[in-house]
Amino acid sequence: MKLVTAVIKPHKLDDVKSALESFGVQGMTVSEASGYGRQRGHTEVYRGAEYTVDMVPKVRLEVLVDDLDATGVVEAVVKAAATGRIGDGKVWVIPVDDVVRVRTGEHGADAL
């Protein structure tokens, strides 16, 4: 099993969610995040004083998938989240040792 984590632009969340639902993904976890990459932050001016705001609002999306689906899920996220402009975000995949469904106690791929 793999954990696919994507940090994307907040306004692309609906597109990514639709793409993953079309792919057949059954669930996901979404959280608000803030940070910066090469995009860096932006400047704001208050009463003439300029502030550099490093942290940009982002959405973090996490999906647990079967090994075979990982590549397809990543492609679906990347395709849906891309705008072609700097700051589109990142997607990464890490291996997962085990998954347990809390309600039934099922382990591994059955719990996905």
Partner 1 sequence: MVDTGATAWVLTSAALVLLMTPGLALFYGGMVRPKSVLNMMMMSFGSLALIGVLWVLYGYSIAFGQDVGGGLLGNPTEYLGLKGLMEDTTSESGGLPAMAFVAFQAVFAIITVALISGAIADRVKFSTWMVFAGIWATIVYFPVAHWVFDFSNDDTGHVGGWIANNLKALDFAGGTAVHINAGVAGLVLAIITGKRRGFGRDPMRPHNLPLVMLGAGLLWFGWFGFNAGSALAANNTAAVVFVNTIVATSAAMLGWLVTERFRDGHATSLGAASGAVAGLVAITPACNALSPVGSIIMGAIAGVLCALAVGLKYKLGYDDSLDVVGVHLVGGLWGTLAIGLFATAAAPAGADGLFYGGGAGLLGTQAVGAFAVLAYSAVLTAIIGFALKATMGWRIPEEDEVAGIDQAQHAESGYDLVGTFGGHGPSAGTAAPTSKRTSEGASA
Which range touches partner 1 (CB under 8 A), out of 13-21, 51-59, 75-83, 87-95? 51-59
Contact flag: residue 32 with partner 1 (CB under 8 A): no
Tokens of 47: 């009463």
Is 15 strand, coil or helix?
helix
Q: Give the nearer residue to partner 1 in terms of CB position, either 43 or 104.
A: 43
Out of 32, 38, 46, 84, the residue judged to bind partner 1 by CB under 8 A? 46
Q: Which amino acid is at 61?
A: L
H and E: helices and strands count for the chain: 2, 6
Contact flag: residue 53 with partner 1 (CB under 8 A): yes
**Residue 14 CA to chain centroid, in angstroms?**
12
Contact flag: residue 102 with partner 1 (CB under 8 A): no
Q: Give the nearer residue to partner 1 in terms of CB position, either 38 or 46.
A: 46
Return d(Cα 63, Cα 82) in angstroms, integer: 18
Please give the residue ranges that form the binding site for partner 1 (CB under 8 A).
Answer: 44-53
